[in-house]
Chain A
Amino acid sequence: MVAFWILAPVMVAAALGLLFARKAVHAALLLAVVMISLAVLYAVQDAPFLFAVQIIVYTGAILMLFLFVIMLVGVDASDSIVETIRGHRAASILVGLVFGLTLVLGVAQVSFGAPLGLDEANSEGNIPAVAKILFTRYVFAFEITSALLITAALGAMVLAHRERLTPKPTQAQLAAQRVRDYAEHGKHLGPLPPPGVFARHNAVDTPALLPDGTAAEASISRVLAARGTVKSAPELAEDVKALTEGDD
């Protein structure tokens, strides 16, 4: 029971954090907290098999899948605060509160009696006992889940597969395209300029300088520029000036 009273507030807090987390990554990590705590609660309640399955399947597989998809979809794909239906948020919070209160009050008033405990059922060990039930009474359902898993795997492959609509350009075609771009738009033929190497900065977020002192747009990654993490040359010059003045 000690484990329960320690973990229950943590779980509720993490679950509430799921509601308020701005970023999907934070929500995933909070969900991991809830799931690991749940695994411990399973272990406390004489279910060592489910403890292992919870850790392996939920925190190991499902949450990793969530994190991978967040990575693909974009880490900063945060929620929009705009309500599409007016009063929707207030109404759903109200409905949730009413639902939760009814559920909790209803459940709390039921007297479940003293728990029988699993000592007898687990007398030969939890895993053999679970296996005995799983492979006798529920063997058909167990076999059906294998069909379900195969269907799910195939479905995911079909959904995530991207059909190539145009043939892949060969190196010769790419070279020809590059020369054509040069002829038509005057685009530079050679490789892109590397980032700037200054006295204090030589990172990829530092633009190279052209002979006239302006930043070379092509020398920085488009992604970094879009995120706004690129330091402009005048800013760097200010930095250096502040530093040298400090020396004097």
Chain B
Amino acid sequence: MDVTPFIVLSAILFTIGCVGVLTRRNAIVVFMCVELMLNASNLALVTFSRANGNLEGQIAAFFVMVVAAAEVVVGLAIIMTIFRTRRSASVDDASLLKY
């Protein structure tokens, strides 16, 4: 199995996640796009682990998953708190720190 297709797929998924973060306005969907980017990087890590013949890449992917789980928990709690006070899950509405 060649390595390049996996890495290209990972790059494509990462790009799609990137564009999603930039264009979508719903905070939950933005968050999902961040998850997509993390997953894409995980795919690259696992692929490189296979290419280099050691398991360090898989360990790195495992740590990324752990951190992603923690990040999702806190992030979703923040989104919920913002929604509760402002009745909106749009990233454009939470702009109080700007002024």
Contact = CB atoms under 8 A, between A and B. Distances in A.
Given A53-B65, A103-B14, A159-B80, A149 B35 contact: no
Contact of B16 (A18, A45, A116): A18
Interface residues of B, number: 71
A21 B56 CA distance: 36
Given A24-B29, A115-B53, A153-B73, 9 more contacts: A31-B36, A38-B39, A45-B1, A53-B62, A79-B90, A96-B15, A115-B1, A118-B55, A160-B81
A141 B63 contact: yes
Nearest to B9: A8
Interface of A: 1, 4, 8, 11-12, 15-16, 18-19, 21, 24, 27-28, 31, 34-35, 38, 41-42, 44-47, 49-50, 53-54, 57-58, 61-62, 65-66, 69-70, 72-74, 77-80, 84, 89, 92-93, 95-97, 99-100, 103-104, 107-108, 110, 112-113, 115-118, 120-122, 126, 129-130, 133-134, 138, 141, 145, 148-149, 151-153, 155-156, 159-160, 162
> In terms of DSSP, what is the predominant structure of the interface of chain A?
helix
Contacts of B71: 152
Given A4-B1, A19-B20, A58-B39, A50 B61 contact: yes
B16 A65 contact: no
B51 A116 contact: yes
Interface in B38-97: 39, 42-43, 46-47, 49-56, 58-59, 61-63, 65-74, 76-81, 83-84, 88-90, 92
